Structure 1
C-alpha cells in the first residue's frame, strides 16, 4: 500500500526543517508537524514594534565550519553581530568572557602576568586538589573573586542547585582570556540573520506540507498510517511512553516588556550574576540587528524547575539521567523506520550550528546510495 508521505517530520525546529528541506530537494514527499502554532522551534522570532524578538531566548549563530556557514547563508544574509555580553553584579559592570578588561576592573591589573599571578594566588589559597564539583572547578580556573561575583550566583540560579552540588564538567570549558577580546565565541563565523531566523525556516519549508497545532501523540495512529518513515525531534522518553522513567530538564520563563525608549541597556545581553536578582539575564533584542526603532523590547529570563507541560530547555546530564537516556537510546537504535534527532531526541544541548550539522549527517546517512 502506497503511503501519502515518504517522511513525517515531528518538530519544525532547525533539525526537522533542515531534514525536510534536504529530503524534499531529493524528490521526497514530506509532512512536517509541530505542537506549536508556529514553525522554527526555539529559534522563532516574534515581531514586536518592528523588532525581531527571540521568543525563546537569545540565539546567536556561530560556527567555525565554512561548510555550515555557507549552508545557512543560502537561506538568509547574516549581519556582523558579535556576541559580547556583560555581567552586572549589584550594579558593577564586567566584561564577558573573562578577559583583561574583567581582570583590570576587578583587581586593577594591567598585564596578563599580573592577572595570572592573581588567579594563581587565589587558587593556591583555596587549597583545591582535584575538583569534585562546579565550585571547586571554577575556583581552580579563575580564582575566588571571579567565582563569587560572576559565576556562583548566576550558576545557582540557572540550575536551581548549589554550585557544590553540580558536577565539575559543566564549567570545564569556561572561556578565560588574557587579552582584551570581548568576543564571547572563538568561532570564525558569527552573526544574526537579517530579518530574523524565521526567514531561514520559511525558506527551508517552502513547498513542504506543514501542519501546526498538531500533537503527534494525539493523532499518532493516523499520522503513522500516512508515512513510510518518521523523523522525531521531540522528547525521546515521551516517544517511548516513559518506559524507563522521565528525563529531567531545566526550563525557562520569559517576561517581555515594551519600553518607550530607544536604548534600555546598551547591549543585547546583560547577565545578572548576583544571587538576589531572580532572573539570570536581560535581553534587549533590537541590538541583535542594530535597530534604530523609537521603542525597545526587553526580555527577562527566569530559570525554573521543569515539570510535564513546560518547555524543556537544558538536559540535566547527571549520572541518573544519562543512564536512563542510554536505555532509550538503545531502544531507539532498534527502531527500523524512525530517525531520532535534535536536542530533545538525543538528550543533549546543541548550539544551532551543531543541530544543522547533525541533521545533515542524518540526511547523508539516510540517502547514501539512494
Structure 2
C-alpha cells in the first residue's frame, strides 16, 4: 500500500506547526489535523473590534536564543512589547515582578539595603532552612508581606490547592530584583507578532495541507493507515487509552467582553492577588500591540479544575502525576513510528520558545 503522507501531525499548536514546516522544507508530504475549528492551538488570536484577542490567555514571546528569535521573525515581525504586569491587592496597586518599585510601594524603602533588611527581618524567625512546599519557599525568598499580599491568594486560585500542598519548585524561578525594573522577563528578545500570532502560524503552515474539526481518536485506525509516521501533540495518556490512569491538569475559563472605552486598565496584564476575587487576572489585549482603537477588549481568567469537558492548560507535576507520566513516557520511548511533542504530549510546562526549540531539535535529529 502506498502511504499518502510522510507525516500526520496531530495538533496545530507550535510544536506541530514547526515540525510540519521543517519536514515540508525537506520535501516531506504532511497533513496537519486539529479537533478545534481553527489552527494555532492556544496561541490563536481572534479579531474583535480590530484588536487581536489572545483567545486562550496572554501569550508573550520571550527568549535569549537568537536563533529562535530570528526563526519566528522570519515569518512575521515582532514588536517591542515588554511584559510589566501590575498586581491589584484589595484595590491597591503594586508593580511586578518584585523589585524596588514593589518594595517602595509596600514599605516606603528607597534603597536595596533597606529592602533587603526588611525581608531579612521578616524571615529571620521563620527558621526555614530546607523549604518543603511552595509557601515555605516563597516566604524564604521574599518574606511575609510580599507572600501574603502578592503570592498566596493568586497561587492558591491558580492551582486550586493550598500553598502548603504545592511543591516548592513551582516558585523557585520567581523574579526578585533589587533594582527599579518592572520588566518581568530577563530575556534579551521579547515581543508580540505585529498583526497577531495567526500570522506566525499561517507562515509556518504555508503550502501544507490542514484539516480542522477532525478528531484523531474517532478515526484513529484510518489516520494511522495513511502516513508513514505520526507526530502527536495531544495528551499522552489519551493516546494510550489512559491505561495507567488520567494525568491531572488545571484548566481556565475565559470571559471576554468589549468595553466602550479606549483604555480600560492602562496595562496589558493586571493580576488580582487577593483570595476573594474569583479570577486571577484581567488581560487588556490592545496593549500587546499598542492599539489606538476606539473600543477595547478585556478577558478575565478564572482557573478551574480540569475534566474531560474542559481544555487542559497546565500539567500538575506533583509526585503522583510525575510517576504516572514516567510510565507513559516509557511506552512512548519504545515507539518507532510515533513522535510525541509539546506541552500535553511531554506533560511539561513549556514556554513558547521552548516548544519551538524542542520541535526544531526533534526535526533536525530526524
TM-score tier after normalising by the smaller chain length = over 0.9
Question: Which aligned pairs between 1:349-360 and structure 2 lie closer than 5 A?
Answer: 349-360=349-360
C-alpha distance in structure 1 between counterparts of 2:223 and 2:341, whole Å: 19
1:211 aligns with 2:211: yes
**What CA RMSD, in Å, does the superposition of the two structures yield over aligned residues?**
0.6
1:45 aligns with 2:45: yes
Question: Which aligned pairs between 1:16-95 and structure 2 lie closer than 5 A?
Answer: 16-95=16-95
C-alpha distance in structure 1 between counterparts of 2:333 and 2:134, whole Å: 33
Residues 265-306 of structure 1, C-alpha deviations (whole Å, 9 max, x = no match): 000000000000000000000000000000000000000000
Measure how far apart 1:236 and its partner are. Answer: 0.1
Measure how far apart 1:129 and its partner are. Answer: 2.8
C-alpha distance in structure 1 between counterparts of 2:93 and 2:56, whole Å: 25
| Residue of structure 2 equivalent to 1:97 | 97
C-alpha distance in structure 2 between counterparts of 1:200 and 1:129, whole Å: 46
Q: Aligned to 1:207, what secondary structure does the other structure show?
A: coil
C-alpha distance in structure 1 between counterparts of 2:105 and 2:195, whole Å: 36
1:161 aligns with 2:161: yes
Measure how far apart 1:175 and its partner are. Answer: 0.4
Q: Aligned to 2:115, what secondary structure does the other structure show?
A: helix
| Residue of structure 1 equivalent to 2:13 | 13
C-alpha distance in structure 2 between counterparts of 1:72 and 1:236, whole Å: 27
| Residue of structure 2 equivalent to 1:317 | 317
Q: Aligned to 1:6, what secondary structure does the other structure show?
A: strand
| Residue of structure 2 equivalent to 1:188 | 188
Question: Which aligned pairs between 1:195-274 and structure 2 lie closer than 5 A?
Answer: 195-274=195-274
Q: Aligned to 2:331, what secondary structure does the other structure show?
A: helix
Residues 298-335 of structure 1, C-alpha deviations (whole Å, 9 max, x = no match): 00000000011310000000110000000000000111
C-alpha distance in structure 1 between counterparts of 2:210 and 2:348, whole Å: 26
TM-score by length of 2: 0.99
Task: Give the gaps of 5 or more residues in structure 1.
Answer: none
C-alpha distance in structure 2 between counterparts of 1:60 and 1:85, whole Å: 12
TM-score by length of 1: 0.98
Residues 56-77 of structure 1, C-alpha deviations (whole Å, 9 max, x = no match): 0000000000000000000001
| Residue of structure 2 equivalent to 1:125 | 125
Measure how far apart 1:127 and its partner are. Answer: 2.6
| Residue of structure 1 equivalent to 2:345 | 345
Measure how far apart 1:2 and its partner are. Answer: 1.5
C-alpha distance in structure 1 between counterparts of 2:333 and 2:365, whole Å: 14
Residues 208-257 of structure 1, C-alpha deviations (whole Å, 9 max, x = no match): 01000000000111111110000000000000000110000000000001
C-alpha distance in structure 1 between counterparts of 2:329 and 2:128, whole Å: 37
C-alpha distance in structure 2 between counterparts of 1:346 and 1:15, whole Å: 11
Measure how far apart 1:173 and its partner are. Answer: 1.0
Residues 18-42 of structure 1, C-alpha deviations (whole Å, 9 max, x = no match): 0011101110000000000000000
Q: Aligned to 1:330, what secondary structure does the other structure show?
A: helix
C-alpha distance in structure 2 between counterparts of 1:130 and 1:4, whole Å: 56
C-alpha distance in structure 2 between counterparts of 1:124 and 1:313, whole Å: 37
C-alpha distance in structure 2 between counterparts of 1:125 and 1:294, whole Å: 53
| Residue of structure 1 equivalent to 2:333 | 333
Q: Aligned to 1:102, what secondary structure does the other structure show?
A: helix
C-alpha distance in structure 2 between counterparts of 1:168 and 1:229, whole Å: 39
| Residue of structure 2 equivalent to 1:3 | 3
Residues 4-31 of structure 1, C-alpha deviations (whole Å, 9 max, x = no match): 0000000000000000111011100000
Measure how far apart 1:342 and its partner are. Answer: 0.2
| Residue of structure 2 equivalent to 1:109 | 109
Q: Aligned to 1:219, what secondary structure does the other structure show?
A: helix
Q: Aligned to 2:177, what secondary structure does the other structure show?
A: coil
Equivalent residues, number: 366
